[in-house]
Amino acid sequence: DMDSSNSWRGVPLSELYGSQSLWGAPEFPLVSPSYNHAVLYHVPSSGCVANDRPPKPQIGQDKWDSEHVRMPFSDQSLYPVEDSNGDTHLKKRWDMIESALSKPIRNSQDLANAILSYNTKFKNTWKFKGLHKLFNEYLEEEESEYFFDVTLPEIVKLALALPKLVQAPIPLLRQHKNRSVSLSQQQIASLLANAFFCTFPRRNSTKRTSEYASYPFINFNTYRFYEATDSDSNLEKLKCICHYFRRVVTKVPVGSVTFSRRSVPPRDCPSWPRSERLIGSLPLHVEPHNTIEDASALIQVDFANKYLGGGVLGHGCVQEEIRFVICPELMISMLFTEVLRPNEALMMIGSERYSKYTGYGHSFQFAGDFSDHTPRDSSGRRRCAVLAIDAAPYAAVTQEFKREAVTRELNKAWVGVSFDTDLQSDRLQFPGVATGNWGCGAFGGTPQLKSLLQLMACAQARRPMAYFTFGDTQLRDDIANMYNLLSRYNVTVGQLYKYIVRFSQEKDVVYKRLHHYLEQVVKGGKEPSPNPGDDVMETSITED
């Protein structure tokens, strides 16, 4: 075994797919319009979409109200304009947008002026320093020229085609609701083009009292995405997004994407101390190499912010932000997903990846085109499921182990991983979940705890789990050993919950190690299972 330091532990990944072949896993519910599923494109009567051209938009009537996304082209979207006498008149905002974007835009200054012409309130605050740096200094001259000569005019066309491409109203995925929205990739591209030009009405305010204060930012500069010059990772994020536009204007993608909000009232969440599910009954795969986005055919966890996307249009550049810029279709969730409550999650099915990258955080870099060969399901969605669950941020370690905090994270993870499962069934549910150090980076959590909580949530939902430790081989071994111990002693989810809560009540929690503590209580209080060999994880053979 030449390379044991880099190999995986537990069951092979293939046991998490639900069938022998990578893509044989059962499909998620197909796209079909209903009272709680808005489908913005026309679904052919066969239910299946053609896979050579984008689906046609669903016809419908614009709705300018608090239940739907206010569209930039709505007749009711008006903007105050001062005439030469100093009098203010209301003008149709879309007319202003069309006229500004129809003029030639040859450089970043023209682009900034165009955006400001229908966002005049920001003419003294939006300086576009980052945008100017990107196109005047950061990119090669030819790259900038190509962008303004070739790509940008096409992004303009895509943005201005919005009234044709999205005719039916887009419902907001509001709190407490189980609702879905499906859009074609072409519709998403047009919506993102509008976000790029900052055209969405009422979405530029950062005030807590604004109408959309409980929604993420969507216009690209609201959170100052075009201003940042201090960190190159922001410019690299912009490169990824420009690359996405280059791709979609060259060849329009023909599939679709579904966004489903899942909200479970606390009374319907599991009673954790009473759970009798055995930890050891859940297949687990742990590996130090590879990343979540490479785990094809599994549900891939997004280490989310409760405001979807987190700092993607601001300064952040960690797991969620990176995922959103290499798969920009995920960003459209920010248009309509209200801030997630503790018992809510968002599943995104069908997005495509467009960019390669290297590095992480400050060292993040766009690394060229990524061509995604993930097959489509019969609704035309890429077989890629991204599950957004937001851990809670912890400033102090002790807080994280408290009963309420532990319960919160368990419910959050469970609401997510139990999406589309049969809660009554004792059978394993496929596909499994690909996750890792959820809540343990920007949010300051502890991997020893978070890995166990995710294991408990997955065991409860019966979904197998793959854990990617992000290069940490010690953590891989700790998790595998802890899993072995819990299996050998037939520890249930309920017992483990009680042990963790008891641990949090110890005086010197900060100085103690959770795994060490668990080892003592498990060995002290229980008989090992009679056939220890049966459920012990075997060290894997090295993958080649």
Residues lying near ligand AR6 in the complex (CB under 6 A) are found at: 291-293, 303-305, 310-311, 316, 318-321, 391, 436-443, 468, 470
From the list 417, 494, 408, the residue with the least C-alpha distance to 462 is: 417
Looking at the Cβ atoms of 238 and 304, the one nearer to ligand AR6 is 304
Of the candidates 14, 3, 11, 1, the residue with the CA atom closest to the CA atom of residue 295: 14
Sequence letter at residue 425: S
φ, ψ at 68 (rounded to 5°): -130, 160
Torsion angle, CA of 408/315/227/309, rounded to 10 degrees?
-40
The minimum distance between CB 7 and ligand AR6, in angstroms, equals: 17
Place of tokens 């061509």: 371
Closer of 315 and 526 to ligand AR6 (Cβ): 315
Least distance (Å) from ligand AR6 to the CB of residue 446? 11
Give the residue nearest to ligand AR6 (CB).
310
* Active-site position among 227, 287, 321, 409: 321
Q: What distance in Å separates the CA atoms of residue 356 and residue 363, rounded to the nearest whole number?
A: 14
Identify which of residues 319 and 351 has a Cβ nearer to ligand AR6 in the complex: 319
* CA neighbor of 240 nearest in space, from 259, 220, 254, 258: 220
Nearer to ligand AR6, 293 or 400 (CB): 293
Out of 227, 287, 320, 329, pick the active-site residue.
320
Nearer Cβ to ligand AR6, position 415 or 440?
440
The nearest distance, CB 331 to ligand AR6, in angstroms, is: 12
Could you say which of 227, 232, 302, 478 is catalytic? 302
Please tell me whether residue 16 adopts helix, strand or coil conformation: helix
CB of 391 to ligand AR6, least distance (A): 5
Given the complex with ligand AR6, which of 280 and 441 has the nearer CB atom? 441
User: SS3 letters for 186-209?
Assistant: HHHHHHHHHHHCCCCCCCCCCCCC
Least gap, CB of 287 to ligand AR6 (angstroms): 10
- 18's CB contacts (< 8 A; 6+ apart) are 24, 25, 26, 428, 430, 431, 432
- Max CA pair span of the chain: 91
Q: Are strands 256-263 and 344-349 parallel, antiparallel or unpaired?
A: antiparallel
514-525 helix and 493-505 helix, angle to the nearest 10 degrees: 120
Residue 340 CB, nearest distance to ligand AR6 (Å)? Answer: 11
> Tokens 């966002």, residue?
119
| Alpha helix stretches (DSSP H) within 223-311 | 232-250
User: Toward ligand AR6, which CB reaches closer, 384 or 391?
Assistant: 391
Residue (of 31, 28, 10, 20) closest to 429 by Cα position: 28
The answer to whether residue 321 is catalytic is yes
Q: Where are the beta strands (DSSP E) in 319-400?
A: 344-349, 355-358, 365-369, 385-389
Residue 237 CB, shortest distance to ligand AR6, in Å, is: 12
Our answer to whether residue 344 is catalytic in this structure is: no
Active site residues: 302, 320-321
